[in-house]
Chain A
Amino acid sequence: MSTDAAGIAIRARGLTKRFGDLVAVDHVDLEVPSRHVYGFLGPNGSGKSTTIRMLCGLLTPSAGEIEVLGLSIPAQAEALRRHIGYMTQKFSLFEDLTVRENLEFLAAVQGVPKARTGSRIDELVDQYHFGDRQNQLAGTMSGGQKQRLALAGAVIHEPELLFLDEPTSAVDPESRRDFWEKLFELADVGTTLLVSTHLMDEAERCHRLAILDHGALVADGTPGELTGKLEGRTFIVEAADPRRAQRALVDVPGMLGVAQVGTALRVLTADTTESGDRKPTDIAQRMQAALAAAGQKAEVATTPPNLEDVFVAVTRNGHAKQERAA
């Protein structure tokens, strides 16, 4: 079992899931290269979990084709199970079993060879820092510890492909950093990881990512590619009264987003070709004029775009399209 010649671990075409009238996932096309950390970025309810569940064969798609590790899903979902690990959004190990008992159970169920089970569990206990907590009940551990245990359980059989559904949602920043270290260690040894998140800083760590909004895939690429497309469209406005400056700016044509960040405003403008501006400086001048008209003394400067800007840009476009279609 391996990825195909092109090194693609997951391929999906026109993936759709309907729950009654609700379209949770809407014609998603996806290609996840192997040995990558691939991110799914999107707000709650954007279809991230549903997509992951369809990819690992837990939900039957309403339409579309899926190929994971060369297997056709959901038809060959059973054969796929032994090659994937799945870390659920909610802690799904047994809270009334100890750390070691949970790992023993998963080792047996995932078919880790009997002779190897003991040493594999020792290895994981060591790697994931459970040395003195092996006999602690899983239910009595902190959020970060549970998360580590869930990850240890998901990789006990050394899967080629690992699905992680918002793995760090209940974890403090320090634990999150450690957790991501573990994910990159896994990618280093050849594991493909698909991680869903709604946190921008996590998305920035991914090799590639797809942005989901209302069940549709609105953008994908490396973080650099995605932010690169917004070059020249992001500004920082330093104003004495940011609230009033914000009110003055929202009505300027070509504004996609004006958000307050501390004492400054972060401004995302529409695509220059669409707004009819020849240079980024044109819109900067319009902003200056609007601020002056409102009696605001302010500095407008360009700033490098980040993923949050990308997210705002692609989701605003999506809404605009929907409005036009309606």
Chain B
Amino acid sequence: MNGRRLWAIVVKELRQLRRDRITLAMIVGIPVIQLVLFGYAINMNLRGLAAGIADQSNTAGSRALVMDMLATGVVAPVATVNTSQEVMAMIRRGEISIGIVVPPDFERRRIDGREAVQVLVDGSDTAVQGAAVQLAQVPLDSAAPATRAPATSTPPTPPISVVSFYNPERRSAVNIVPGLIGVILTMTMVLFTAIAIVRERERGNMELLIATPLTSAELMIGKVLPYIGIGLVQTTVILALGIWLFAVPVRGSMLDVYVAAGLLILANLTLGLLISTRAQSQFQAMQMTFFVFLPSILLSGFMFPFAGMPKIVQWLAEVLPLTHFLRLIRGVMLRGASLGELWIDVLALAAFVVVMMGAAILRFRKRLD
């Protein structure tokens, strides 16, 4: 490993990047645009969700409750139907996001202290779930006396039950923004290096490079180093926007956040390099990148709860860097954990980096055949 040659590659990469205005703009643009876009889904203070109401009881009490719910402004009634089946069908068809079902025995349930009203939620939209929680806080009857104390020691059943369809694990803004750091870094970083080697092959630069004393390791590491800095810039942009726009807490240490991000950046860059040694064209490199990108989003626990996946898919997900990063970043930012407590995932990411980098260096031959 020759330091001067390594540095020459780093300087070259940075100089080329500096002239690539569009890529430069995307380095900051992608995180900003994506965070603002996802910001809609993150925003929990929803107003005017389309609601279907089935008041099967139709008593003074039930009508008052429905009026109270509408008064919150969270829901806007679009349909009044007779049965809960009809409500469910409308949710399935996407006509309403929330269904309010008052059963025929509403009054008796209220007196018994059992669940008296069902709010059916289209859980495929995470923001709607948050809205449903707001609805559940509406008191059944503010004037009514306290319900009868339960005979057993189990806690009292809340009077309004929220049933979430399609997405059993509730999610919130604070949960999404840390994950978004990982998703954006996965998308941009893998692609940066995936096309790095292929592009030089396509432009004919590679034949020049391999005829020089440059070693595979110098070339590979020299291509990774500049993008670590870029990845950390992106991390900072997302963190700053997340804290400023969405008040996401950082309960653990900021250093741990950056170390975790750094590990994910390295993992993605080295994965990209490996793709680049394999791909024959930039187009192929992009296809391979998306082959990795989609499972990362779907299986890592960013969109769907990890616990709900079949064992074999969980093992598959353990291979994805994003899975480990999500555990680290949620642990550090939301639960205030330290990286030391989450050492298994730190180790997994580090091992991934070593294996990918090693494979890329070994795979890259200073030969044309």
Contact = CB atoms under 8 A, between A and B. Distances in A.
Q: Do A and B bind each other?
A: yes
A97 B15 contact: yes
B8 interface: yes
B366 to A, nearest CB: 8
A88 B207 contact: yes
Given A96-B19, A109-B213, A58 B368 contact: yes
Interface SS of B by simple majority: helix
Contacts of A96: 15-16, 19-20
Interface stretch (A8-16, A25-33, A79-87, A311-319): A79-87
A93 B367 contact: no
Contact of B5 (A59, A74, A88, A109): A109
Interface string A47-70: 000000100101110000000000
B369 A92 contact: no
Contacts of B12: 94, 97, 101, 105
B213 A97 contact: no
Contacts of A110: 212-213
A84 B211 contact: yes
A65 to B, nearest CB: 18
Contacts of A91: 204
Contacts of A77: 366
A74 B11 CA distance: 31
A68 to B, nearest CB: 13
Nearest to B206: A92
B246 interface: no
Contacts of B8: 104-105, 108-109
A115 B201 CA distance: 32
Contacts of A286: none
Interface in B1-28: 2, 4-5, 7-9, 11-12, 15-16, 19-20
A106 interface: yes
B108 interface: no
A18 to B, nearest CB: 11
Of B208, B210, B214, most A-chain CB atoms within 10 Å: B208
A110 B366 CA distance: 15
A1 to B, nearest CB: 13
Nearest to B2: A111
A106 B208 CA distance: 10
A243 interface: no
Contacts of A101: 12, 15
A248 B55 CA distance: 107
A92 B212 contact: no
B147 interface: no
A241 interface: no
B172 interface: no
Contacts of A282: none
A74 to B, nearest CB: 8
B203 interface: yes
Contacts of B205: 92-94
A59 B369 CA distance: 6
Contacts of B212: 81, 106, 109-110
A93 B205 CA distance: 6
Q: Among B8, B203, B212, find the residue whose CB has the most chain A CB atoms closer than 10 A.
A: B212
Given A82-B213, A97-B15, A111-B213, A92 B207 contact: yes
B204 A109 contact: no
Interface string B291-304: 00000000000000
Nearest to A102: B12
A86 B211 contact: yes
B93 to A, nearest CB: 53
Contacts of B209: 109
B210 to A, nearest CB: 6
A82 B214 CA distance: 10
A108 B7 contact: yes
Contacts of A297: none
Interface string B101-137: 0000000000000000000000000000000000000
Interface string A105-149: 110111100100000000000000000000001000000000000
Given A81-B211, A81-B212, A90-B204, 15 more contacts: A59-B367, A59-B368, A86-B207, A88-B204, A88-B207, A90-B207, A92-B205, A93-B205, A94-B16, A96-B19, A96-B20, A101-B12, A109-B9, A110-B212, A137-B19
Those 9 A-B pairs whose CB atoms lie nearest each other, nearest first: A108-B8, A92-B208, A86-B211, A90-B204, A92-B204, A81-B213, A58-B368, A109-B212, A88-B207
Interface of A: 53, 56, 58-60, 74, 77-78, 81-82, 84, 86, 88, 90-97, 101, 104-106, 108-111, 114, 137, 153
